[in-house]
Copies of this chain bind each other. A is one copy, B any other.
Amino acid sequence: MTTASVVGGSGFTGGELLRLLAGHPEFEISQTTSREYANKTVGSVHPNLRGLDLRFVAPDGLEPVDVLFVCTPHGVTMEHIGEYRDLADTVVDLSADFRLPEAELYDTWYDGHVAPEHLADAEYALPELNRENLAGADLIASGGCNATSTILGLKPLVDAGILTPDDQVVVDVKVGSSEGGAGGGAASSHPERSGVVRPYAPTSHRHEAEIEAYLGLQVSFTVHAVDMVRGSAATCHVYPEEMPETKDLWGAYRETYDEEPFVRLVAGGSGVYRYPEPKAVAGSNYAEVGFERDARNDRIVAFSAIDNMMKGSAGQAVHAANVALGLTETAGLDFSGLHPVGSP
């Protein structure tokens, strides 16, 4: 068994990692840290994990381990990365601190970088994009959830040359409240967020930087908070120079994803769930992608839906760790979602 620890286990992402690691056939949880809840049981913060016999330890109590999953905030992980890399053979970071390939990007989009020398080692976690480089990687950076849903939705079009850097792409994202983390704030309080459709990152969203770095496309990106707890749904309005036929679109999506264990194509069909949507994947590591061809406007609408806590962060991190360590890729992640399910 491979030992794994989680830094910052009391937040939402940390809790989701603990859930996944507890049920993972190849990992054994060693420790989890929390400054605020040191010595308290994990179950006292994450009620779904009341059955886990584990207590948080203070951050300075972290011991050597095979794999270290880090859930400290942006700007904080980079301050401790040296320490983390000393303690663990493999570090998987869920912050944004090692996602972007170059330090200059951190100057533009964040508040600069204090450990840029590690950036060259860092591998972007999304296996559907970066599988070859993940094998054997010892520093892995999990992507932003909205960047993940967007990249998954657009990649087939880029791979097939249907979408090129010159084409117009508008990405309109709808995301759940868990994306804001456990801290909350006035805008996240139930009375203010129930039934909401609220633009909160109308322009210049940081996830644009990831999308550009990894897909090579500059996109127009707008994010809205909607009433769900888990989910990132991206609607990508694409204007290719030449409109492909529907069969070419199917071909492109199949080519990119047919072998992918966690991506499902959903486009049209019958019943209630005809296009990708978060409810269909909630609680699971699956992503649904699909498209609709709009001849009238020479537009392709590409849809993508994930659970932001899973494929958008914790699930992606564990999937990447499986690949990095040469384990069965789907280990600990191949369970299905729920139906019916509300706003999971």
A interface residue numbers (CB < 8 A to B): 12, 15-16, 19, 22-23, 40, 44-52, 168, 170, 172, 174, 176-178, 182, 184-200, 202-204, 208, 218-220, 222, 224, 226-231, 233, 235, 237, 239, 264, 266, 269-275, 277-284, 286, 288, 292-294, 296-297, 299, 301, 303, 305, 309, 335-344
Contacts and interface: CB of A to CB of B under 8 A. Distances in A.
Given A172-B237, A190-B177, A335-B23, A202 B280 contact: no
Contacts of A220: 237, 294, 297, 299
Contact of A190 (B193, B275, B338): B193
18 contacts: A23-B335, A23-B336, A47-B272, A174-B197, A174-B226, A177-B191, A182-B186, A188-B189, A194-B343, A196-B228, A197-B277, A198-B277, A199-B292, A199-B301, A203-B301, A204-B294, A222-B237, A226-B226
A336 B49 contact: yes
A344 B261 CA distance: 25
Contacts of A293: 203
Contacts of A182: 186, 189, 191, 340
Contacts of A47: 266, 272-273, 277, 279-280, 288, 337, 339
Contact of A272 (B50, B192, B194, B303): B192
A48 B339 contact: yes
A283 B280 contact: no
Contacts of A335: 23, 335
A203 B339 contact: no
The 8 closest A-B CB pairs, nearest first, are A195-B343, A342-B343, A229-B342, A47-B280, A184-B189, A191-B340, A203-B294, A194-B342
